[in-house]
Structure 1
């Protein structure tokens, strides 16, 4: 898997956690996804 695919999965997990009304974990997944998207190496 490359970083963009993993980032997409992390964004989906964040969306699910937001539906569960978890205030902190979605932010962590979004931050990790953003970091993966902006990495130069796969």
Structure 2
């Protein structure tokens, strides 16, 4: 299990100014969750 730091991944993709990524490896495969946030944190 791992994730990016909450504030250290700036971007300018599709209106997002910050992204995060979480990854979980298990016996069945990999789960990943990418999230983008606008300047207001939404």
Normalising by structure 1, report the TM-score. Answer: 0.26
**Structure with max Cα Rg:** 2
**TM-score, normalized by length of structure 2?**
0.26
